Structure 1
Amino acid sequence: MSVMAIGVNGRPFTVDDLEGMPDDGRRYELIDGTLLVSPTPGLRHQKIVAMLLVKLDPSCPTDLHVLPAPFAVRQSKNTELQPDVLVCRDSDLTDKLLPVAPLLAVEILSPSTALYDLNTKKAVYERLGVPTYWVIDPEVPTLTVFEFGADGLYEQTVVVKADEVFEATAPFLVKFSPAELLGTLK
């Protein structure tokens, strides 16, 4: 992942600057005017995204949607994130983006993004008010769940490894193991 803190003409980046970014397979996100550029995801990452969609979508209530990246979560002109997978209310969507916090944001770790996903993005999702944040490590495989605690801050509520079964209650009921998300990959 590369980070660019200086925007156009010495000013921070805005979502308007994202429109001019190349369509090169990389993910371009903004956090408080700082541009984050992630490389094209690898095989394990994409397999987990696909399998997670397969697991979540059939259980998803009709008033909610499960969406993969790229789909923008934009609450301001200087912050736009694209979770690997998100769940949101139908009534919150526009044709182009989600202008409010999703109910669930999921990030799949990769060597180039792990520190950002576990620290910077986690802090931004917390600040934006995303009630549930899942981080999936494709190498182990492990699912870590963060939810708001009594103090209004994220706390790690669950860590599920390999063939252990995770039973989500939020944003809706669904069961799966992290190992299932790799499908036939080992």
Structure 2
Amino acid sequence: MRPTASARRAGGPIPAPPASAAAGPAPVDLREKVDQDRGTLKRLQLLVPGFRAYRQGEDIRAADSILRRQVADKIKNARTSAENARAALTQSGQFSVLMDLAPLISDLLTLEPKIRSAEQGYSGISPATRVGNADLDRLYEYDYGFVLAGDQLDQTLAPLPALAAGANAADLQRLVASARSQVSQLQQAF
């Protein structure tokens, strides 16, 4: 979910995350939700000169953390669909397709914790490179695209267990190939 180190250091444009062709409800901008849920102490912190930028940065980091957990949950749902399909294929004796499914499950098992535990863009007190609120906003926008990509992957793999129960191995292999392509795009963008 993070752009390359050179893109972050240069302060240049952050490349776009994988595009989503799936039509579904648009994800909610969690920055607004975090702003609305501020307690009295956090609102007071916004009034203190010098502390305002810190508070705003922390709020953006909190929203980004929630967003990344949502993406990781969508990848976990996709993995569950793939694992259910694996069980159905095993029960029906369609072992040839299992070889296609195993790398997909492995990739999903690797990608989920990587996204869930990604760093949040902190910088020290006097760093050589600062991570300001504008940078955090740009990173949030970048990560926001991953929600759409996670939705698309989840929707792609949702029919997999039903297909696995059927007898059409070609459809199953096409779906798995499509999902592997989506996972590969997510890994490259991350």
TM-score category of the 2 structures, normalised to the smaller one: under 0.3
TM-score with structure 2 length normalisation?
0.25
- Structure with the higher helix share, 1 or 2: 2
TM-score with structure 1 length normalisation?
0.26
- Structure with the higher strand share, 1 or 2: 1
